[in-house]
Structure 1
Amino acid sequence: MELYMIRRRGIWANDEELAATNVKSVEAGEAMAGRLRWIRSYAVTEADGRIGSVCFYEAESPDAIREHGERIGAPSEEVQPVRGAAVKQPDPQPVVYG
């Protein structure tokens, strides 16, 4: 499996919608075990106030990521392979949705 970054822009109107998608994502990830693994996500506030995300998944292919996005109702059109990482500090305390 390879590591990929997925950028979802303005998918959610509020935190409740985001939390509901996160629950679906866990369920879909379990159903796709061996093909895809959710590593982490960052929720971001878009310029229009909607919520987007930057997500990192291990997956067998970009098609597996797109399938996962279809299953959870969150399009995964912007998929890029991760070239490397430079972790300088640990993440701050995460906000947990769902």
Structure 2
Amino acid sequence: MSLHHLLRLAGAVLAAVTAILAMHANWTEWRSWRAADAGSRALADLRLGLVAAERVSRERGPTNARLGASDGPADPASVTALAQAREATDLALA
């Protein structure tokens, strides 16, 4: 085998190994990017769930005020506050 053919073979092998390594690196980075994207979406869903839970918790104040009131006629301010809190909770849950 002549030196010319040997150098061509070595160049082809080197190019093939380099291409394989580049493809492997790109594939690994692509998988990492997909995992990060999925994590970002999961965090967005978690945020929405936490906001909804906060709204439900915030509704407790007006509810407790209304439940703790005497058996007399309902105070319009507490009824309005409870209705607004429930509306905010419904919006957050939607």
TM-score of Structure 1 vs Structure 2, range by shorter chain: under 0.3
Greater relative contact order structure (CA < 8 Å, 6+ sep): 1
Structure 1-normalised TM-score?
Answer: 0.26
Structure 2-normalised TM-score?
Answer: 0.27
Q: Which has the higher strand share?
A: 1
Q: Which has the higher helix share?
A: 2
